[in-house]
Structure 1
């Protein structure tokens, strides 16, 4: 026999075990008296006996209300009757009558089905209680306390914001511990994805923990979900039934997006039961931009003040009640085919930004590359990753045969980006390229737009924003880079934040296209944030040098070390599958220094800038000093490295000195020699006397002098390159970073 709907529904949102025990107490009272009018005192007595018995037998049991007493043995009947007001009110099939006393009874629809339904209800309640106590015992044994976690966040977050973001324990609490603990709750189904965020590289003003049903939404940027939102001043945390704001605002504009969300709130409040939760706009999280977003997107909420966080039982009961309402909403959408699941990035940013996850992901990429039979110098993959994350344009330089193109292909392939799925594109550069038409496209004589290879990639990437797309310009300096690539370089400089995404000015303006169909497809196409441009270069008599415009915008990674003694794995047939990776793994978090300049990053930015100021004084003699663009890029690289812990601080700056500063130096004058020697002093320390080598640089290469200097160098990679450039200057009368 199935239970009546009104009875089965009473178990959907339990407040502790009170409702189930109340039902049992009522049935037992009726079994003894056979009177449909059940005296409240008798029901309360049986209710109390149940808990006192479990308590004396040391069985798992819900505690009594903490404001009343800490043990059931000290409770009395008046206190129990007061306690029963809430579960009585929650059980809508029960009414209270005042006629010669206080009485309880089931609704007429229950009595009309006879005694069998009460027997079935009694069995059902006992089964539910057994399951409930089993789950309660597991929870109590796990040491999980939601109250303790919320208290810790509310009382330590302000202090944490003045501390380094990377590796902070609060980050681990949000990203791993709390999601794992919430996942263990019995009412959290396998469809629920739990994600916490304290910010992307910097502390968030309003941190959050969201529970999303992946059948209707995989991102907090769209759709509906349950989320804990912490007030910026940490005065409270709100448990809310909320909506994603980013996608509606992006698709409809801010004004229309807000109107859409406000209408959705009205529909949710009218169609769902939010009993016990507030359904007004009186939610206060922050005084700035996000405040309005949260106010218009919240359908229901309950507020927990920092000074009075409820018990674990109440917190979990509230969460279960809201999750039950959420499940009903999801089921309704699935049944009516109203699911709108757009191609939108799954927000794994916080998981990926975690230092351990980044290192693990890089290790798997290196393992994949090694499995394919290729070996690269230590630290190269980490350096390549940091360079791409700093700016999506990197140049790989080196002698032919070192595997530059293969590195790009395998790095992309390890992330699930291949030529077959369109996420990796190899474009061999032709010596006759003199304009951007081969890359961007052109309009033919009929006015029809013929897209170039880069435009085709940009279009596809803009439609799949969660996936990274790699463009490899092979031997990019066979033609003059400034002639065919300058438009793209200029557009890259227009990057800015818009609704949480990186956008650029259009690479193709709609009004430059003649045909309407071309305007619809390519009009105002920009460079999406998920496109990464990597060029390979060889420097010989067939190639062209780079201008400072190109060098300023790229990290130039040179590797000439070849490990011929490296061999493939002995089991070449074994499969090692790529791991498809979200674009968030590579996407930049900073575009301007203001994006990164916070209390926890200020010290490293200041220290890095001080070193660059000293280097600029040296470079000014040959007019090769750097500007704000390079300062910002170097600082970003250093901040990413600190966050992920890939290199020591000195190793990271060594890479930047080698990749951003030295490529700017070339010439044959005495000034070039003096600049290189002064830079050598910066690399190896104050014991290096520049004047000792101004007249005869050859002295530097006598005996073990250079080896000893490199062994003590603060920046050994840069020192070795400077020595190579000095040797070339001594032997040929001219030197350049690009001559080896």
Structure 2
């Protein structure tokens, strides 16, 4: 059975299969095993070895529609994040699309569905801008309608589905008139060439950004509103790591003291001298002024501020404003001194 045969069988049987238990279902096994294997075999050679082929009918329960992703480990560790070529069925299972899509789950878990939908649409624009000559390869920007977050019973939800905006470009096939496997594979090879070129640019670091956003969310440091503030904090933390110097930090604490400059909590007064080291140094230099090649930083208020751990986390959540703005709009604790 060829790859096109698997596409037809899935399109014709998936909606009925969804009314039956997922566990040990033969169509689920075909989607997870035979479908990816047929695509791998069709590619053959070194191409088949370079990528990971992942097919899914759902996890624990049937999804609204199955998908098959082709992953490059330098771009993403799993289908939950990053970007990759993926086969998706559209409403009604009359059409199947090969698109340059994105993993949404990790981002959604970190920032919520609404903000993730906005960000994924912006990322799709970036992918089109950095995707090379995809139009000349016969691909278009859609729109392509995903079934991932809607039920097949309520087609009124399809047009409003925000995940329809996450595919950057691709090609649609009618299931009733699928081309031969040779043409399907030729289209996939063209898509993979674009994928490889995008990966080599190292510009679209979506997977790494999602990991950073997950870390901010888990630490309670994720700013509210649009993700612009969160991205600023991510860059801020990256620069802090790049310019981390223990001796310099010790000099900062010695120079600026052990009292939090935001809420004025004094570690030495509260706990004694043994706890002085728990005051933290926060980078106070505007990010735009720090070159990637390095910077000469001094243990002064021009470059740093000292904060307690709570205020340090809170200033990140606020988007790293300067000290006066942070104190004016965000510090309301009883340690605050006017």
CA contact (8 A) 1:284 1:291 kept: no
The verdict on how the C-alpha distance between 1:519 and 1:235 changes in structure 2, with shifts beyond 3 A counting, is: farther
Number of the residue aligned with 2:70: 211
Map residues 8-407 of structure 1 onto 2, 5 A cutoff: 144-184=1-41, 185-186=43-44, 188-272=47-131, 273-275=133-135, 276-283=138-145, 285=147, 287=155, 288=157, 292-333=161-202, 340-341=207-208
Deviation per residue, 1:227-259 (Å, 9 max, x gap): 111234322211110112233334444444333
Please give the secondary structure, in 2, of the residue aligned with 1:240: strand
Please give the secondary structure, in 1, of the residue aligned with 2:75: coil
**Count of aligned positions:** 214
CA contact (8 A) 2:88 2:146 kept: no
Map residues 476-515 of structure 1 onto 2, 5 A cutoff: none
> In structure 2, how many angstroms separate the alpha carbons of the residues matched to 1:227 and 1:337?
17
Deviation per residue, 1:653-682 (Å, 9 max, x gap): xxxxxxxxxxxxxxxxxxxxxxxxxxxxxx
Q: 1:261, CA displacement in angstroms? A: 2.2
The verdict on how the C-alpha distance between 1:339 and 1:158 changes in structure 2, with shifts beyond 3 A counting, is: closer
The verdict on how the C-alpha distance between 1:254 and 1:201 changes in structure 2, with shifts beyond 3 A counting, is: closer
Structure label with greater radius of gyration? 1
The verdict on how the C-alpha distance between 1:312 and 1:291 changes in structure 2, with shifts beyond 3 A counting, is: farther
CA contact (8 A) 2:90 2:144 kept: no
Please give the secondary structure, in 2, of the residue aligned with 1:188: helix
Deviation per residue, 1:499-539 (Å, 9 max, x gap): xxxxxxxxxxxxxxxx95147679xxxxxxxxxxxxxxxxx
Q: 1:323, CA displacement in angstroms? A: 1.2
Please give the secondary structure, in 1, of the residue aligned with 2:171: strand
Number of the residue aligned with 2:301: none
Q: 1:298, CA displacement in angstroms? A: 0.4
Please give the secondary structure, in 2, of the residue aligned with 1:195: strand
CA contact (8 A) 2:145 2:158 kept: no
> In structure 2, how many angstroms separate the alpha carbons of the residues matched to 1:280 and 1:195?
23
Please give the secondary structure, in 1, of the residue aligned with 2:64: coil
Map residues 418-433 of structure 1 onto 2, 5 A cutoff: none
Q: TM-score, normalised by structure 2?
A: 0.55
> In structure 2, how many angstroms separate the alpha carbons of the residues matched to 1:233 and 1:245?
23
> In structure 2, how many angstroms separate the alpha carbons of the residues matched to 1:200 and 1:253?
20
The verdict on how the C-alpha distance between 1:293 and 1:206 changes in structure 2, with shifts beyond 3 A counting, is: farther
The verdict on how the C-alpha distance between 1:338 and 1:165 changes in structure 2, with shifts beyond 3 A counting, is: closer
Q: 1:290, CA displacement in angstroms? A: 10
> In structure 1, how many angstroms separate the alpha carbons of the residues matched to 2:76 and 2:160?
22
> In structure 2, how many angstroms separate the alpha carbons of the residues matched to 1:337 and 1:302?
22
Please give the secondary structure, in 2, of the residue aligned with 1:303: strand
The verdict on how the C-alpha distance between 1:247 and 1:284 changes in structure 2, with shifts beyond 3 A counting, is: closer
> In structure 2, how many angstroms separate the alpha carbons of the residues matched to 1:174 and 1:284?
17
The verdict on how the C-alpha distance between 1:521 and 1:207 changes in structure 2, with shifts beyond 3 A counting, is: same
CA contact (8 A) 1:192 1:214 kept: yes
CA contact (8 A) 2:89 2:146 kept: no
Q: 1:205, CA displacement in angstroms? A: 0.5
> In structure 2, how many angstroms separate the alpha carbons of the residues matched to 1:151 and 1:261?
30
Please give the secondary structure, in 2, of the residue aligned with 1:304: strand
Please give the secondary structure, in 1, of the residue aligned with 2:8: helix
> In structure 1, how many angstroms separate the alpha carbons of the residues matched to 2:210 and 2:164?
26
> In structure 2, how many angstroms separate the alpha carbons of the residues matched to 1:284 and 1:245?
12
The verdict on how the C-alpha distance between 1:340 and 1:283 changes in structure 2, with shifts beyond 3 A counting, is: closer
The verdict on how the C-alpha distance between 1:181 and 1:291 changes in structure 2, with shifts beyond 3 A counting, is: farther
CA contact (8 A) 1:229 1:239 kept: yes
CA contact (8 A) 1:227 1:241 kept: yes
> In structure 2, how many angstroms separate the alpha carbons of the residues matched to 1:261 and 1:163?
33
The verdict on how the C-alpha distance between 1:204 and 1:291 changes in structure 2, with shifts beyond 3 A counting, is: farther
> In structure 1, how many angstroms separate the alpha carbons of the residues matched to 2:146 and 2:54?
22
CA contact (8 A) 2:81 2:105 kept: yes
Q: 1:152, CA displacement in angstroms? A: 0.4
> In structure 2, how many angstroms separate the alpha carbons of the residues matched to 1:343 and 1:280?
25
Number of the residue aligned with 2:309: 517
Please give the secondary structure, in 2, of the residue aligned with 1:239: strand
Deviation per residue, 1:549-577 (Å, 9 max, x gap): xxxxxxxxxxxxxxxxxxxxxxxxxxxxx
CA contact (8 A) 1:154 1:235 kept: yes
The verdict on how the C-alpha distance between 1:280 and 1:217 changes in structure 2, with shifts beyond 3 A counting, is: same
Q: 1:284, CA displacement in angstroms? A: 5.5
The verdict on how the C-alpha distance between 1:519 and 1:202 changes in structure 2, with shifts beyond 3 A counting, is: farther
CA contact (8 A) 2:81 2:206 kept: no
Q: 1:338, CA displacement in angstroms? A: 5.0
Q: 1:146, CA displacement in angstroms? A: 0.7
Please give the secondary structure, in 1, of the residue aligned with 2:188: helix
> In structure 1, how many angstroms separate the alpha carbons of the residues matched to 2:120 and 2:108?
9
The verdict on how the C-alpha distance between 1:193 and 1:337 changes in structure 2, with shifts beyond 3 A counting, is: same
The verdict on how the C-alpha distance between 1:247 and 1:200 changes in structure 2, with shifts beyond 3 A counting, is: closer
> In structure 1, how many angstroms separate the alpha carbons of the residues matched to 2:80 and 2:162?
12
Q: 1:267, CA displacement in angstroms? A: 2.3
> In structure 2, how many angstroms separate the alpha carbons of the residues matched to 1:266 and 1:153?
31
Higher relative contact order (CA 8 A, sep 6+): 2
Deviation per residue, 1:682-724 (Å, 9 max, x gap): xxxxxxxxxxxxxxxxxxxxxxxxxxxxxxxxxxxxxxxxxxx
